[in-house]
Each structure stands twice: as structure tokens, then as C-alpha cells.
Chains A and B, each alone.
Chain A
């Protein structure tokens, strides 16, 4: 299992803090998910329900993602890779990508190999949720996106990546420089975003 460095910004001091990207979601990460992420997600949902009238699913999924099941379902599957972002002894983000099943859709790179991000999530305390206390770390999503781009380059895909976004995350992917291709009726009508090789280089240079 390989480990690379990344930097996050502390939400309290704005200082840069060193983090590690692990090329796996292992027992330790799944334990963090079960004992820390899941309770924090449930607490955030309860806070939101008290403070926000109406439907809150556009802000935060009603039920926490089941990372144990997701990680278990890809064991030994060559097309799938998992990553976790560790900082100060805690899992701060997780991601699962597919490097074989999806092709690029933008006209300039149509049908070319691309890394598809199946799942990406920051720990609940790192997310911008109304009524949430200050985020513990900023930059978790960008660090994981950077890892997906790096994998794409290492595979010879020149940085091309694609994903379907939940509504609450669309602005984040736009801020990463990805191109919005519209809602996809074949994937829960979620909006599909894609990054070109040039956009990937731009993202890395920032």
C-alpha cells in the first residue's frame, strides 16, 4: 500500500497541516467511519432537521454512506481503487475510483480512457453544512481529486476524470474547473462532470 503527502488547511488556525493519502480503505479507516463519521453524520442530520425547514437531502444525505459495504464490494476488483486521506490520526476523507468501465464523454476526448470517481466523501466535520460548527479541515475534497488526477496520469489517461455529482456538491466540482455536461437520466438524473487533460494541469498548478 503506497502513501503520499497532501496538505490540508486547519479550519481554526488556517495553518497548513500535513496529511497522508493512503492507497487503500482498510480496517483502520472503516473503524473511523463506524465510530466517528457515522455518529457525526447522524448528529448533523438531527441539527439540520431542527434548524432547516423542509427537505434537507440537498444539503446532506439522510443516511450516511455505507463505506464498509462499498469497500467490501471492490475487494480484489482490479478496475477499482480506493484511497483514504489521513490527518492527525483520523480518516478525513475517502474515495473509490474505477479505471476501466467508463470512458470520457466530452467531444474533444470522447471515448478516451478516463478515471471515474464512483464515491468521494469528506468526513462530516470537514463539510460545509449549515448550522455546523467550523470545519476541522479544508481541502479534503481537493486533495482526493488531486489523487484521482495523479492516478489518471499514472495510468496514461493524461489527467482525464469524470463523476456524477450529488446536487449539494455541484459548485465544488465547478470550482475544481470541471466541465458540467448536464443531468444524466441513466444515473439517477445526477449531473455529470468531466475534467480534461488541460483542466487537470490547471487544477494541479493551483
Chain B
């Protein structure tokens, strides 16, 4: 699979968030951004299909729908 390079302009806070995720997930910056893109696209695709996006608390089973603004 061929890969392409791009420059990403981030604020300090955004870069810190990327670096924190790299540390927490033990992943490179590229891997973190790729995972973020995959998740973002997955959410969009599922919403387009009519699915709902929500978080569920494993212990209480409470479900909180994530409201996506369009």
C-alpha cells in the first residue's frame, strides 16, 4: 500500500493531546492519527446508515447517546 506524507498544523493543546494519546496507547503519532481517522469515518458511516452513537457504562449499563451536530 503506497503512503503519502502531509504537514499537520496543530495548536500546542492539540499536539499535547496527540502526545498524551501516544503515551497512553503506546502508539506512534502516525498510528494515533490513523486510528482517529478510522474512528471518525466509522462514526460517520454508521450515522449515515441510521445507527445511533452512544456510550454505555459497563457496570451500571447506563447509555448516553452522543448527539452529533450536522
Contacts and interface: CB of A to CB of B under 8 A. Distances in A.
Interface residues of A, number: 13
B27 A78 contact: no
Contacts of A23: 1
A161 to B, nearest CB: 16
Interface string B1-42: 100000000000000000000000111100100110111011
A79 B39 contact: yes
Contact of A100 (B1, B26, B27, B42): B42
Contact of B38 (A2, A79, A112, A156): A79
The interface size bin for chain B is 10 to 19
Contact of A77 (B1, B31, B34, B42): B42
23 contacts: A2-B1, A23-B1, A78-B34, A78-B37, A78-B41, A79-B39, A79-B41, A79-B42, A99-B35, A99-B38, A100-B38, A100-B42, A101-B39, A101-B42, A112-B25, A112-B26, A113-B25, A113-B27, A155-B31, A155-B34, A156-B26, A156-B27, A156-B28
